[in-house]
């Protein structure tokens, strides 16, 4: 069973040539391991209970082999831990933060942070929902769904060149329709993140354990489980409506998407 079944991930897999020689040598010798996704989550849970300096924590990677070439997505737990704390603090008044994160724990989490400032995480996570902007990076034919040792899954993978092209097109469409604002800024941030990686990288959206929750929700509504999930199609439908200045078409796709994932989000309070 997946330790954190409410987490979805957007991952960048870079070719080995993008990394330092020592890392290339180490990661080239590793065996492919489907259990790496579970192990990453298990370590994350342990670190919540037993805080320790991120720079001193054991780390790992996810590995893909495509057409005889190896691609690697480092967990980068130190960078992600620091970024998560930063985002959490930004969401709260400074006077309230000590009630959630004591100075002692913050000191542990940020130890060695000066070594991390130039690091970019290869993995973005969201809980209980998948941001619409993640779907626009893909086409429906790039999606795979099924069942493995960890249960039901949905994964979508494409090249970073295609992902950047689609994100840029979506950004232009949104700016044309709405101008600058929160949605446009989210897309710009996503584009900036993609630009940080090797041009031959792969981009993967993994529903994680949300695939099981989504399947349950769809079946409860009389649909055929995961095979009825049209999240990518809905986002593309909405973008086509925006591009054609057709608000009704744009709204139809967006409402289908949000209605589907709203029901998954509702399961958070039921668990």
Q: pLDDT tens digits, residue range 223-236?
A: 999 999 999 999 99
- According to DSSP, residue 197 is labeled S
In angstroms, the CA 251 to CA 248 distance is: 5
User: d(Cα 107, Cα 85) in Å, to the nearest integer?
Assistant: 11
Predicted confidence (pLDDT) at residue 10 exceeds the cutoff of 70: yes
The CB density around residue 105, as the number of other CB atoms within 10 Å, is: 13
| Share of residues in the chain with pLDDT > 70 (%) | 73
Rounded Cα–Cα distance for residues 83 and 78 (Å):
9
pLDDT in the model for residue 67: 93
Angle 64-9-182 from CA coordinates, rounded to 5°: 135
pLDDT value at position 115? 43
CA atoms of 215 and 73, how far apart (whole Å): 27
Distance of alpha carbon 190 from the chain centroid: 11
Confidence of residue 116 (pLDDT cuts 50, 70, 90): very low
| Rounded distance between C-alpha atoms, residue 255 and residue 132, angstroms | 11
Q: What is the rounded CA–CA span in Å between residue 213 and residue 267?
A: 8
Confidence of residue 120 (pLDDT cuts 50, 70, 90): confident
Give CA–CA dist 266/217, Å, rounded: 10
> Which pLDDT does position 258 carry in this prediction?
96
Domain spans in the chain, listed from the N-terminal domain onward? 11-123, 128-271
pLDDT at residue 76, rounded to an integer: 67
Among candidates 221, 238, 218, 128, which has minimal Cα distance to 178? 238
Helices 182-194 and 160-178, interaxial angle, to 10°? Answer: 160
What are residue 9's DSSP bridge partners?
125, 206
């Amino acid at each position: 069973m997946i330790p954190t079944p409410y987490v979805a991930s957007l991952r960048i897999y870079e070719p080995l040539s993008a990394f330092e020689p020592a890392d290339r040598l180490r990661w080239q010798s590793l065996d492919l391991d489907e259990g790496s996704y579970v192990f990453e989550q298990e370590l994350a849970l342990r670190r919540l209970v037993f805080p320790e300096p991120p720079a001193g924590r054991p780390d790992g990677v996810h590995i893909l082999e495509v057409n005889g070439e190896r691609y690697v997505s480092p967990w980068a737990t130190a960078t992600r831990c620091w970024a998560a704390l930063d985002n959490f603090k930004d969401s709260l008044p400074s006077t309230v933060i000590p009630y959630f994160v004591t100075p002692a724990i913050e000191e542990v989490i940020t130890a060695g942070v000066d070594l991390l400032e130039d690091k970019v995480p290869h993995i973005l996570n969201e809980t209980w929902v998948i941001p619409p902007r993640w779907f626009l990076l893909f086409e429906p034919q790039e999606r795979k769904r099924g069942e493995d040792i960890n249960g039901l899954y949905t994964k979508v993978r494409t090249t970073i060149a295609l992902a950047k092209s689609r994100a840029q097109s979506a950004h232009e469409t949104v700016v044309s329709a709405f101008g600058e604002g929160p949605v446009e800024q989210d897309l710009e941030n996503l584009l900036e993140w993609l630009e940080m990686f090797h041009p031959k990288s792969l981009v993967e959206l993994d529903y994680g354990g949300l695939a099981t929750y989504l399947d349950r929700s769809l079946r409860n509504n009389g649909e055929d489980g995961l095979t009825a999930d049209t999240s990518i199609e809905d986002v593309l439908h909405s973008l086509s409506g925006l591009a054609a200045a057709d608000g009704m078409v744009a709204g139809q796709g967006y409402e289908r998407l949000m209605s589907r994932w709203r029901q998954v989000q509702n399961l958070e309070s039921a668990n």
